[in-house]
Structure 1
Amino acid sequence: MAIYILVTLCSSFIFIYGNPLDQPVPLNSDFWEKKSQYYSHGGSTDEDVRLAEEVVVQRLQSKNDQTANRFEAQLQLIAPIVDKAERKWAELVDLDHLNFTAIEWEIENELPELNDRTWRKGRERGRGARGLPAFLGNAVKLFDLKQVVKELETSVMTSVSCSACKAGVGLLQHYVDSGKSTDEIVHAATKLCMSLKIESRRVCEGIILAMADEVVFVLSRLILTADEICGFVIGDVCAIPYNPYHDWEVALPPIPKPALISQQIPNGGVSTQPLKVLHLSDTHFDPYYHEGSTANCNEPLCCRLTDGIPDSSTNGAGRWGDYRKCDTPRHTIESMLQHIANYHQDIDFIIWTGDLPPHDVWNQTRTDNLYVLRETVRQLTFYFPNTRIFPALGNHESSPVNSFPPPNIEATHTMDWLYDELDLLWRRWLPDSTSPTVRKGAFYSVLVSPGFRMLSLNMNYCNNKNWWLLLNSTDPAQELQWLVYELQSAELKGEKSTYSRYEATIAGQFFGHTHFDEYEVFYDEVYRGRASSIAYIGPSVTPYYGLNPGYRIYHVEGNYAGTSRMVVDHETWIMDLQEANRHNVDSPRWYRLYTAREAFRMPSLTPQDWDHLVHRMTYDDNLFQTYYKYYWKASPVRPSCDADCKKRLLCDLKSGRSNDRKLTCQEIEERIDSTKKSSSWKTWLFNGFAISSVFTFLGGFGWLGDSVGSLF
């Protein structure tokens, strides 16, 4: 049997065949003047503050090995003084709006971070062991806030985000351990967000208020350090300290894995008509999109009346969407669906990988997200009344975003409000047998036809931005154990580490979430160089941001004895947003951008072929630039891609398995670096000949001379 796995982010569809910079901000020029004013108004003469500074610095700089009890006792003695000093610093930041980087730079040498062992003992013994000083010592590293915000938006993390994470978590832990109320924490965090100018006032207030209950609930129950928390949230760029709560394996049945056989090349549907599958992802419908409103606002989402009217028409939101930070208008989605219904009348079924609400995550409620969910279901039902649709859940469907507590979390944080609605709405396409798992965790298994099964996974239980997993990430909702049961049953019926174990059963994986047009390769856990599975990551409908709206069509091996249900080819269709807005057309043109086999000169689409494409692009920059153009869906505003960009993208293609980048990327990075050196050498040699030719010419004549999905 063939199995397809659908995934968005960490949510996924599986098709089963018989089986998703480090430069500090310059010191504010008026910092020293402001600092002088602060001290001249009594800061330096405040004996309590001076004493607190001396005591804390003395204790933290001590090289003697101190027990947690001794440190706690001394900290308690000066706690009132430290609190007073803390208020002084808060007033300094809040009232004068100083460059926070400069403030942290100033105190770096005074308040170094506590010894990690002392910190851990303190956390295990109870509240208050760490306190403010450790946060201040960490926060000094928060030196490039604009870079942090950019990395959060693009999900491309570096040590900058790692340092910022540790600083922020340190502050939150201090407040939680100090027994401050949630309201007090919200107030303090909002002031800090505004003072650092991370976002506008309403964004700071909205997102902090939305996340506060969850974050306080989780942090108050953790004994993890900031290093451990950020290693989990940021990933391997932040290092991943060992944590037994996250070290677990899914139990596999005591049945030997079938012997490996060479991967078959799909016959391309020569004898039968291939199946035609539509992949829709990341619609991000914005009910409040308004043509002509400001498209270049200073918030994460623009193109709304609340952003005001722009000072010039060039800064106004386009009719059909905008390349700037704007989501999808209703009429753009309807234009796409009408085009698909007209042009692709032979679609066999649709895989729909979620991410439905807009990106105003600071301004959303459960009611808002349920409205978008119902409205999108209504649109799909209207345009495809007789087509079977297989949905998967995205990370944006919850409120707050990324918040998916496991079923064992107490009732005040239940996901029943969303999962019950999904069960109700999805039931029009799914059998009643899926209801128990949809209501439990938004995942399900469906037999599409004899020998062909679809598994939809809620991979938000694998999302490192889901803070609930910090409490315990061991197979939330028992989803992966359920997956193993489904895959083993499929294997025994002849239906198509889990992916590696069942690679002969899984025919394809389909993801969404990243907005880009891309793929990822999975490799054998024993023979690391052998590609074992492929994850197709579909393009987004939303242009957010810098993209053309798009969708994908898969051609899959058809109905014949022995069919593998493998993808034979796929094609991406887009709307040229610039063209549609420029000509202000009533019916924009949707057209096929490329087909995979033709564009990349691939004999077939087996995992080995996709792996081979990665290696070819390493050496062939023209081929890579073709891939890069389609990755951005031919956006005219796509940025250029240098060698570091190329290394990151090609590394992404080989990183289907999380935290394997160091193993899978080294060879690519070395090859690209080697190619650069070779190119530089050839350029130097050519220039040498050219210079020689110039001198020859003087004497006569000479010559001068480019982020679920589903699994099949």
Structure 2
Amino acid sequence: MLIFQFYAGNPLDQPLPLNSDFWEKKSQYYSHGTSSDEDVRLAEEVVAHRLQLKHDDKSRRLEAQLQLIAPVVDKAERKWAELVDDVDHLNFTAIEWEIENELPEPNDRTWRKGRERGRGARGLPAFLGNAVKLFDLKQVVKELETSVMTSVSCSACKAGVGLLQHYVDSGKSTDEIVHASTKLCMSLKIESRRVCEGIILAMADEVVFVLSRLILTADEICGFVIGDVCAIPYNPYHDWEVALPPIPKPALISQQMPNPGGGVSSPPLKVLHLSDTHFDPYYHEGSTANCNEPLCCRLTDGIPDSPTNGAGRWGDYRKCDTPRHTIESMLQHIANYHQDIDFIIWTGDLPPHDVWNQTRNDNLYVLRETVRQLTFYFPNTRIFPALGNHESAPVNSFPPPNIEATHTMDWLYDELDLLWRRWLPDSTSPTVRKGAFYSVLVSPGFRMLSLNMNYCNNKNWWLLLNSTDPAQELQWLVYELQSAELKGEKVHILGHIPPGHSDCLKVWSHNYYRIVNRYEATISGQFFGHTHFDEYEVFYDEVYRGRASSIAYIGPSVTPYYGLNPGYRIYHVDGNYAGTSRMVVDHETWIMDLQEANRHNVDSPRWYRLYTAREAFRMPSLTPQDWDHLVHRMTYDDNLFQTYYKYYWKASPVRPSCDADCKKRLLCDLKSGRSNDRKLTCQEIEERIDSTKKSSSWKTWLFNGFAISSVFTFLGGFGWLGDSVGSLF
């Protein structure tokens, strides 16, 4: 331990001693050219951090002292160079040999033993074990669960895809690929045996089918799936634009707070928004709630080691979905308390999160059962549904109509057409059966458009074959919006995955953004789900990017999965009168306090209004400019941001704290109606949060006093003056 006697004996945040004895021993190291196993272990940690492109405090401290341990690190890097040509190109032949010849056939007992020690490379063959050190697998799993991706997931994706491509290119059968992938999944302690076997078997046919027909590299595939964090190479194959008609965009009219005119009382419409119910037919009170799988609270998870680890009666904050009686309690409460609902929007994700254990029949059962529940409690209320990403089996698998008949979505889309027909007219059948999207007239002058957002889902591997406007859905959307504009109709758009979310394919999202900006005068509301949180996304003018042009509401989930209270949303929409805007004039979020309901073991849990938007955030109205202004206010007012953060988590008592980086990410989300474009949309927010100096400059005053979008609204009628101000930002 020549060099590392000094390195390991000091805190990483302190410099190493630079005395003569140190340099003498350093020179001895050069002359002897030897090092202990501990030298190599610590040096490999430095190299692994460098290869993972980590930017945490430990990495920075390691890099700061890199010169002092250069000899050992150089030796370690030479060793790693034998493993990796660079971060993106592993020796897959060597990995394949170790998987097939050195990895044991693990059973549940050996998996549990390894799992208790934590994920990692311990016990793996040398080559594979060293390669795995490149990836923090625990971090990768967390990022996949939260969709907050970093370079760690990018590197792991490239390695995994590269290995799969190697197997496909070498002529391995699907069964051989499934066997090898399952061995690797279990040996790395990524998931349990049944989860590894189930999810790999479910996805194998699709992945092998797609990879065997692709000419893309692992870099290109992971850039497609992960997004901008993977620094996707330019690929003209996935660069396309939907055609917009050569009809000029109508002149903009300043958006004002909706106000029924003529002195005639016209109450707003009352709209219920349900999303992400994730009904679990196998939820079992008292079963283990802290299992080591993606979904818990089932009999198969066993008896908990203590009562505190048992599943609650009405649900659980841990990785558990919604019991039947919790959904029925909510629907009964809504039917009793909100008897004046005009219609319901229902934005998908019905099955539970046991994605490794689902069949088509399982998901169809949940679909039919949820429709039965809604019909029972709301027999005379119109419901407008949208499709989620969990409705397919396997999850996220939605091949476009042009894929060959052996991989068709008829099994799901035909059933949707049958079940949705009780609320929708016959005219919607062709597009529902083609791609699970539709257009319907709610009332004269008011149209509802429901989109299948799985055609923007970057976890949908089928899009790798051809992402160009799957099912021509966006071209259909342009047609419907242009028709509505010509007729003077106002339009609400429904979907599941928010268009600005990182799960939405960049090129699809950018095309959608163009469409929304072109038809902003026609689109008076957008409504999505998917995230399980209570949030929104602002859209901005593509020319004058400081002007907010549209707003997308993201409804809270019914499921508590995970760390959340169950909830639903009520919108008050500008009512029935000549010239109505059909904009949301206010909204309320209602929740059940899961902790309270479980603690008191009540037979009828309390559902209550958590907040109303205008009152909670002191907003004069809910125009896009008002929502943009709220983002700017929260940048400076941390108390206001903490109020938003509480409601974002639906007042969950187990919500984590939110530091400056967390605040940047959440406020950036609010400004991101366009996915994978955060460098453009979020730089301003990050700079202002990072700034500790509260400048009294005119620009700071302007941001504090009112949003930039308000400036454009005020100056909009002054032509050249508004344009000139816009150029300043």
Shorter-chain TM-score bucket reads 0.7 to 0.9
Alpha-carbon contact 1:534-1:607 (below 8 Å) kept: yes
Per-residue CA deviation, residues 16-68 of structure 1 (Å, 9 max, x unaligned), is 99999999999999999999999999999999999999999999999999999
Separation in 1, partners of 2:468, 2:408? 18
Instruction: Mark the CA change 1:68 to 1:328 in structure 2 (over 3 Å): closer, same or farther.
Output: closer
In structure 2, how many angstroms separate the alpha carbons of the residues matched to 1:384 and 1:360?
29
Post-superposition offset of 1:103: 9.7
Bigger CA drift: 260-269 or 609-618? 260-269
For the residues of structure 2 that align with 1:96 and 1:254, how far apart are their CA atoms?
A: 45
Q: More displaced, 60-69 or 223-232?
A: 60-69
Distance in 1 between residues matched to 2:254 and 2:451, nearest whole Å: 28
Describe the shift of the 1:612–1:180 C-alpha distance in structure 2 as closer, same or farther (beyond 3 A): same
Further displaced range: 244-253 or 594-603: 244-253
Question: What CA distance in whole angstroms lies between the structure 1 residues aligned with 2:630 and 2:177?
Answer: 50
After superposition, the C-alpha distances for 1:103-141 in whole angstroms (9 at most, x for unaligned) are 999999999999999999999999999999999899557
Looking at structure 2, the residues matched to 457 and 698 of structure 1 have their Cα atoms a distance apart, in angstroms, of 35
Report the alpha carbon displacement of residue 660 of structure 1 after superposing the two structures with TM.
Answer: 2.0
Answer whether contact 2:103 2:183 (CA < 8 A) is retained. Answer: no
The whole-number CA distance in structure 2 between the counterparts of 1:679 and 1:69 is 34
Deviates more, 1:138-147 or 1:465-474: 138-147
Aligned residues: 696
State how far apart, in whole Å, the 2-side matches of 1:601 and 1:656 are: 23
- Following superposition, the deviation at residue 262 of structure 1 comes to 1.3
Distance 2:89 2:38 in 1: 25
Distance in 2, matches of 1:637 and 1:58, equals: 31
Distance 1:62 1:513, change over 3 A: closer
Judged with a 3 Å threshold, the aligned counterparts in structure 2 of structure 1 residues 57 and 299 are, in CA distance, closer, same or farther, namely closer
- Going from structure 1 to structure 2, the CA distance change for 1:72 and 1:440 (only over 3 Å counts) comes to farther
Taking a change above 3 Å as real, the CA distance of residues 594 and 671 of structure 1, as seen in their structure-2 partners, is: same
Deviation at 1:102, TM superposition (A): 15
Counterparts in 2 of 1:109 and 1:330: CA distance versus 1, 3 Å = closer
Report deviation, 1:266: 1.3
- Quote the residue 2:255 is aligned against: 263
The 1:246/1:690 distance shift into structure 2, 3 A limit, reads closer
**Would you say the 8 A contact 1:293–1:307 is kept in 2?**
yes
Counterparts of 2:61 and 2:16, CA distance in 1: 38
**Structure 1 residues 274-283 or 251-260, which shifts more?**
251-260
Specify whether residues 30 and 401 from structure 1 end up closer, same or farther in structure 2 by C-alpha distance, changes over 3 A only: farther
Relative to the length of structure 2, the TM-score reads 0.75
**Structure 1 range deviating more: 507-516 or 35-44:** 35-44
Q: Say which SS state the counterpart of residue 591 (structure 2) adopts.
A: strand
Q: Does the aligned pair in 1 maintain the 2:565–2:593 contact within 8 Å?
A: yes
Q: C-alpha deviations, 1:457-496, integer Å up to 9, x for none?
A: 001001111111111100110111000000000001111x
Deviation at 1:682, TM superposition (A): 21
The equivalences for 1:178-327 within 5 A come to 178-267=170-259, 271-327=265-321
**Higher alpha-carbon deviation: 96-105 or 396-405:** 96-105
Determine helix, strand or coil for the equivalent of 1:677: coil
What CA deviation, in whole Å up to 9, does each residue of 1:409-432 have, x standing for no partner?
011110000000000000000000
- Please report how far the alpha carbon of residue 96 of structure 1 lies from its aligned counterpart in structure 2 after TM superposition: 26
Return closer, same or farther for 1:45/1:668 CA change in 2, 3 Å cut-off.
closer
Task: Compute the displacement of 1:264 (Å).
Answer: 2.5
Aligned 8 A contact 1:622 1:706 in 2: no
1:511/1:707 contact within 8 Å kept: no
Paired with 1:546 and 1:706, the residues of 2 have a C-alpha distance of 46
After superposition, give the CA deviation of every residue in 1:586-620 in whole Å (9 maximum; x if it has no partner): 00000000000000000100001101100100000
Partners of 1:19 and 1:491 within 8 A in 2: no
| Counterpart position of 1:427 | 421
Cα distance per residue 1:202-248 (max 9 Å; x no partner) = 10000000000000001111111111111111111111211112111
Change (3 A) 1:539 1:80: same
The whole-number CA distance in structure 2 between the counterparts of 1:615 and 1:72 is 36
SS in 1 for 2:41: helix
Q: Is the 8 A contact 2:52 2:152 kept in 1?
A: no
Residues 364 and 399, structure 1, Cα contact 8 Å, conserved in 2: yes
SS in 1 for 2:693: helix
Is the CA contact 2:525–2:583 (under 8 Å) kept in the aligned structure 1?
Answer: yes
Q: Residues 18 and 451 of structure 1 are in contact (CA less than 8 Å); yes or no, is this contact kept in structure 2?
A: no
Distance in 2 of aligned mates of 1:459 and 1:702 = 37
Deviation (angstroms), 1:659? 2.1
TM-score by length of 1: 0.77
Which of 667, 691, 701 aligns to 1:684? It is 701
Structure 1 CA distance, aligned partners of 2:132 and 2:699? 45
Measure how far apart 1:363 and its partner are: 0.3
CA deviation string 1:377-420 (max 9, x = no partner): 00000000000000000000000000000001011110000000
Q: Is the 8 A contact 2:589 2:610 kept in 1?
A: yes
Shift of 1:258: 1.0
SS class of match (2:580): coil
**Residues 505-514 or 651-660, more deviating:** 651-660
Give the equivalent residue in structure 2 for 1:501.
518
Check whether the contact 1:142–1:167 (CA below 8 A) recurs between aligned residues: no
Asked if 2 retains the 8 angstrom alpha-carbon contact of 1:101 and 1:142, the reply is no
Preserved contact between residue 282 and residue 542 of structure 1 (Cα < 8 Å): yes
After superposition, give the CA deviation of every residue in 1:146-165 in whole Å (9 maximum; x if it has no partner).
00000111111111111111
**Secondary structure, counterpart of 2:562 in structure 1:** coil
User: Contact conserved, 1:327 with 1:359, CA < 8 A, in 2?
Assistant: yes
Q: How many Å separate the matches in 2 of 1:15 and 1:60?
A: 24
- Residue 206 of structure 1 contacts residue 362 of structure 1 at CA under 8 Å; is this kept in 2? yes
Structure 1 unaligned residues grouped into runs of 5+: 1-12
Q: Contact conserved, 1:111 with 1:137, CA < 8 A, in 2?
A: no
Alpha-carbon contact 1:23-1:143 (below 8 Å) kept: no
1:361 Cα deviation (Å)? 0.2
Give distance in 1, aligned partners of 2:291 and 2:23. 32
Residues 1:156 and 1:68: Cα distance change in structure 2 (over 3 Å): closer
| 2:526–2:551 CA contact under 8 A, matched in 1 | yes
Tell me if the contact between 1:284 and 1:357 (Cα under 8 Å) persists in the aligned partners: yes
Q: Distance in 2 between matches of 1:639 and 1:561?
A: 47
TM-fit CA distance, 1:311: 1.2
Q: Note the C-alpha offset of 1:437.
A: 0.2
The 10-residue stretch of structure 1 (17-26 or 39-48) with the greater mean CA deviation from structure 2: 17-26
The answer on whether the counterparts of 1:521 and 1:535 sit within 8 Å (CA) in structure 2 is yes
Instruction: Kindly indicate whether the alpha-carbon contact (under 8 Å) linking 1:552 and 1:570 is maintained by their aligned counterparts in 2.
Output: yes
Structure 1 residue runs of 4 or more that deviate by more than 4 Å after TM superposition = 13-141, 676-712
Relative to structure 1, the CA distance from residue 438 to residue 16 in structure 2 (aligned partners, 3 Å threshold; closer, same or farther) is farther
Q: CA RMSD in A?
A: 15.4
Q: What's the secondary structure of 1:150's corresponding residue?
A: helix
Query: Shift of the alpha carbon at 1:675?
Result: 3.3
Kept in 2: contact 1:17–1:505 (CA 8 A):
no
C-alpha separation between the residues in 1 aligned to 2:343 and 2:708?
A: 63
Q: CA deviation at 1:678?
A: 8.8
Cα 1:704/1:433, change in 2 over 3 Å = closer
Alpha carbons 2:83, 2:131 under 8 Å: kept:
no
**Alpha-carbon contact 2:99-2:184 (below 8 Å) kept:** no
Distance 1:76 1:208, change over 3 A: farther
CA distance in 1, matches of 2:565, 2:120: 51
Whose relative contact order is higher, 1 or 2, with alpha carbons under 8 Å and at least 6 apart? 1
2:283–2:321 Cα contact (<8 Å) kept? yes
**Residue 374 and residue 46 in structure 1: after superposition, are their counterparts in 2 closer, same or farther (change >3 A)?**
same
CA deviation vs aligned residue, 1:536-557 (integer Å, no higher than 9, x gap):
0000000000000000000000
Residues 512, 707 of structure 1: 8 Å contact kept: no
Which whole-Å CA distance do the structure 2 matches of 1:269 and 1:204 have between them? 65
Q: Specify whether residues 125 and 704 from structure 1 end up closer, same or farther in structure 2 by C-alpha distance, changes over 3 A only.
A: closer
> Using the alignment, how far apart are the partners of 1:177 and 1:202 within structure 2?
28
* Cα distance in 2, alignment partners of residues 597 and 161 from structure 1: 39
Shift of 1:271: 3.0
Percent of pairs with identical residues = 96
